[in-house]
Structure 1
């Protein structure tokens, strides 16, 4: 029997929703420069940065091990600062039948700053597979690295 699940978290940052969203949407290849301890490379395989249907290849480190993922951009909503990726190849699919990541950034309050909402939805190959909490922790670390980069100086 299929076991569906989701994990999610909010990361409070100082950068604007638009600036943070732009990095994940249109300047994704810069993430490895800013969070190189987590992400070693981001390359576009098909399409163009910032377009639905584009295929992006990631090299990253998870739990101290090198990993890869190929994903397709499923949805982009510029007004809501939202992007959704669906994993189509890579190490995550050794454990999950399907895996989708949605990132939405909203403004916090009149004092500025934003909240990055990470949502990971998946179907496990079997019940012994753990929930992807370490991937969620990596997403938090990447968010903080990007925020520090976007708000420096």
Structure 2
């Protein structure tokens, strides 16, 4: 049986909805911890597909759940929002919309990088953060020196 799992993920929890044979079934909330996700992953099968929206921690969720399922999908949140105009927005509805859009093959997906590409992206992003931080510190030092008429 084809299962599609929609997850509306947040910082501390995820709301989960299952799409099975054309029907949505709530599965409750899971903790957004490695152990919480792994415990949830053990309940899934290798035929299941899991859909999450692109957020700050979506790649971490993909890394943890990938070994348990057939496919992990990250949805483009801007395009999902444009497709699904919900007047009532709850976490359950958002998770259900993700699962339903995937079931209808109407889900705007985000490309998932392989492990090496993802590692390099994280490395480049961290370097950019360090360079910006260094620049900010230098500018603060220059401002202090300027304020005290020190060339």
> What TM-score range do you get, normalising by the shorter chain?
under 0.3
Q: Which has the higher contact order (CA 8 A, sep 6+)?
A: 1
- Structure with the bigger percentage of helix: 2
Query: Which structure has the larger Rg over C-alpha atoms?
Result: 2
Q: Normalising by the residue count of structure 2, what TM-score does the alignment of the two structures yield?
A: 0.26
Structure with greater strand percent:
1
